[in-house]
Structure 1
Amino acid sequence: MKPYLIAEPALRRLELTITRRLDGLLQGEHLGLVPGPGSEPAESRPYRVGDDVRRMDWNVTARTNEPHVRDLVADRELEVWALLDATASMDFGTAAMEKRELALAALAAVGFLTQRTGNRIGTHLLHGGGVRTLPARTGRPHLMALLQAAFALPRTPPGVAEPLLGVAAEQLGRVVRRRGLVVVVSDFLDTPETWEPPLRRLTARHQVLAVEVLDPRELTLPDVGILTLIDPETGRRREVATGNARLRRRYAEAAAGQRDAITGALRRAGAGHLRLRTDRDWVRDLVQHVMRRRRLAALAPGHRAPGHQAPGHGAPVTGGGGDVA
Structure 2
Amino acid sequence: MADRHAGRAGLASALEADEGVGAGRAEAVLTRLQLLVTRKLDGLLQGDYVGLLPGPGSEPGESREYRPGDDVRRMDWPVTARTTAPHVRRTVADRELETWMAVDLSASLDFGTARWLKRDLVVAAATAIAHLTVRGGNRIGAVVGTGAGLPGRRGAEPAAPHVTRLPARPGRKEAQGLLRAIARTEIRPGRTDLGALVDMLNRPPRRRGVAVVISDFLAPVEGWARPVRKLGVRHDVLAVEVVDPRELELPDVGVLTLADPETGVLHEVRTDAKLRARYAEAAGQQRAAIAHALRAAGAAHLRLRTDSDWLLDMVRFVAAQRHARTRGTTR
Which TM-score band (shorter chain)?
A: 0.7 to 0.9
1:146 aligns with 2:144: no
Of 214, 222, 225, the residue aligned with 2:251 is 222
State how far apart, in whole Å, the 1-side matches of 2:247 and 2:90 are.
43
The offset of 1:53, in angstroms, is 4.0
Aligned residue type for 1:290 = V
Aligned pair count reads 299
State how far apart, in whole Å, the 1-side matches of 2:201 and 2:43 are.
33
Q: Which moved more, 1:120-129 or 1:174-183?
A: 174-183
Q: Which residue of 1 aligns with 2:26?
A: 7
Q: Which moved more, 1:85-94 or 1:162-171?
A: 162-171
Q: Is the 8 A contact 2:40 2:315 kept in 1?
A: no
Aligned residue type for 2:58 = S
Q: Is the 8 A contact 2:242 2:305 kept in 1?
A: yes
Q: Which moved more, 1:68-77 or 1:272-281?
A: 68-77
Q: Is the 8 A contact 1:31 1:294 kept in 2?
A: no
1:208 aligns with 2:237: yes
- Over aligned residues, Cα RMSD in angstroms? 2.0
> 1:175 is paired with a residue of what secondary structure?
coil
Q: Is the 8 A contact 1:182 1:206 kept in 2?
A: yes
**Residues 1-325 of structure 1 aligned to structure 2 (within 5 Å):** 1-2=18-19, 3-27=22-46, 33-129=52-148, 130-157=162-189, 160=190, 162-242=191-271, 244-300=272-328, 322-323=330-331
Aligned residue type for 2:206 = R
Deviations 1:106-145 (A, max 9, x none): 0010012222443100000011241110000011221111
State how far apart, in whole Å, the 1-side matches of 2:234 and 2:146 are.
25
Q: Unaligned regions of 5+ residues in structure 1, if any?
A: 302-321
State how far apart, in whole Å, the 1-side matches of 2:281 and 2:106 are.
25
> 2:137 is paired with a residue of what secondary structure?
coil
Q: Which moved more, 1:170-179 or 1:7-16?
A: 170-179
Deviations 1:289-314 (A, max 9, x none): 1111222222226xxxxxxxxxxxxx
Aligned residue type for 2:328 = A
Q: Unaligned regions of 5+ residues in structure 2, if any?
A: 1-17, 149-161
The change in CA–CA distance for 1:56 and 1:265 in structure 2 (over 3 A counts) is: closer
State how far apart, in whole Å, the 2-side matches of 1:55 and 1:155 are.
40
Q: Give the TM-score normalised by the residue count of structure 2.
A: 0.85
Deviations 1:246-302 (A, max 9, x none): 11111111111110010011111221100000110001000111111222222226x
Q: Which moved more, 1:8-17 or 1:68-77?
A: 68-77
Q: Is the 8 A contact 2:98 2:140 kept in 1?
A: yes
The change in CA–CA distance for 1:151 and 1:236 in structure 2 (over 3 A counts) is: same
Deviations 1:53-84 (A, max 9, x none): 44333454455343322211111111000011
State how far apart, in whole Å, the 1-side matches of 2:29 and 2:206 are.
33
Q: Is the 8 A contact 1:32 1:290 kept in 2?
A: no
Deviations 1:161-200 (A, max 9, x none): x331001111221135221000000000000000001111
State how far apart, in whole Å, the 2-side matches of 1:208 and 1:221 are.
32
The offset of 1:32, in angstroms, is 5.4
The offset of 1:24, in angstroms, is 3.4
The offset of 1:21, in angstroms, is 1.8
Q: Is the 8 A contact 2:115 2:306 kept in 1?
A: yes
Q: Is the 8 A contact 1:79 1:121 kept in 2?
A: yes
Q: Which moved more, 1:125-134 or 1:98-107?
A: 125-134
Instruction: Extract structure 1 runs of 4+ deviating beyond 4 A.
Output: 28-32
Q: Give the TM-score normalised by the residue count of structure 1.
A: 0.86
